[in-house]
Structure 1
Amino acid sequence: MSILRTLLRHAFQSRYFSIAEFKRAQNKADKGRDEKQKDGKKQSPKMKTFKIYRFDPEGNNKKPKMQSYTVDINDCRPMVLDALMKIKMEQDSTLAFRKSCREGICGSCGVNIDGINRLACLHKIRPRGTTKIYPLPHMYVIKDLIVDMNKFLAQHNRIKPYPIPKELCVKSEGDQQFLQSIKDREKMDGLVECILCACCSTSCPEYWWHGHTKPPNDFLGPAALLNAYRWIVDTRDGATHERLSELRNYYNVYRCHQINNCTSVCPKKSALPKRSCRSHAKTEKQLQHCIPTRLQTFF
């Protein structure tokens, strides 16, 4: 039972990120508002301006624009997503954006807030100044803050993000176990937490330049490389050599130049470039090849 509890703790509690802080912020805002309402004290409105990117390819005006909205933040929960929902429900029902869990778990609400990629559900509203909200950069915009994730998810699918057993199951279905020690499981800390929000890949200049070219000559991006490394270090997986062979080309792991934008914006605080370097090192060690001559200038 102690081993089970430890594994569950690792699986559901990331040491890089705690949702408790998010819930405390929301509870504090709700509690303060409720107490003032009980005391009969009416809060004076505190208006906040949001400038939001608007684009509708099926509308009359096909040119993108920035549209301003004002929200009383004393009558709104503390996160940017709360403000977006309030605007949609009370001011403009045509505003389009993605949302789901509202707790930083699903990764649906990734947007660019004041020039930085963030999850709208985890970013607090700044009380002063104007907040500008854009869709994730260098992605095809479907409408307003909704971007096309098909290319990003297709690149993730190319790394085969699922376990490939070391040997065929000889027992009856459901009877075979793939055991893993606690020490081996700890190697995946900071990897399994990825929620595919695309904040990292869309902040990477290398992904801007080479992420949208035709496969296989496209850079997979930080998210795909992180998840590739997650399966490479998984002791239960039996396709390590195949995964490393797939990564070993001019446009995959070698295209990471340690710019570190991905680490700065990751809501889970994963060390993405460091894991990319480890994938590179494992690639060379596993395949016992030298780096091609034209790549030596990069290392």
Structure 2
Amino acid sequence: MANDLQVIEGEAVGLVRTNLDPEQAKRAFDLLPVSEITREDYKNRIGDFLEFIQINGLNRNTLLDYRKHLESRTDYSISTKNKYFTTAKRYAGILYNAKLLPLDLGKDISGKDLKGFKQSKKHKKDGVQDDEIAKIAEYFKSLPDEPKTKRLKTIFSLLVYQGLRQVEIARLDVTDLDLRTNKAFVLGKGRDDKEPIALHPYTVEAIKDYLEAYKKRSGALFTSESHNRTGERLTTRSIRKIVKVVLDSLDIHNSTHGFRHYFTTNLIKNYKGDLLTVAHYTRHRNLEMLQVYNDQLNAEQDLPRYIEAFERVKL
């Protein structure tokens, strides 16, 4: 890390842009007093901040500029933006504590921590819609019957039929799957141990085809196929890119997380608002967020009555 940074006293901090080592940056998080899950999350997300620095350089306003950059990203949820911003702040703090930066970029002029993004719990980005799911299904029917197609179909099955988060898919190992009982053991958000989930028959079918095509018996369920990272565990960022390619090709303007919204909404519709049962499948730790989904569904169903109330009042 010391070889990469050129410390300059005063307002500016210089950076040798062509000599950033992502692996070295990841190791910087090793001594933080955080859980292993949080540490891995930091390591998976730091690459985005490093790329931003490569392009824009490093100065006392870098974190503010990075926040503006994240704010402009329409493919990230507020939660995801906060995770990337927190990762960047923690990394800047590590550099400052190691005396590689002359000032703490994570604090404003008054010494207060830079704030992340706020979102009302009542606001929720729309999920993938039924007609878009139909387009994706037709897309898969058009693809050749080859290993790459089976890999792609398995990733989408875990999104559509299981509602898994990107990080949960990235963390899956082959040994986490028990296809005799149609279960998987998932390391969920904010959890320290894996929890069992029921696998839909369509997911099981996709997984079996994929495992057979790639002759996978152990290790990470999904690994990179890019030349410089072949065999390494697929990252959340890579999963987003894989999904985005498909969505863009079908002119679907949504994100990977939109499938979790679809999964949750579909269950609430079919379980007639029985949120306790839905929570079993979505693995929400409290019902507040599920109630937001339920309220939105009820509002949509009630919309015709609202419109009719003003039917005879036309300006």
Q: Tell me the TM-score range normalised by the shorter chain.
A: under 0.3
What TM-score results when the alignment is normalised by the length of structure 1?
0.25
What TM-score results when the alignment is normalised by the length of structure 2?
0.24
Higher helix share goes to which structure?
2
Higher strand share goes to which structure?
1
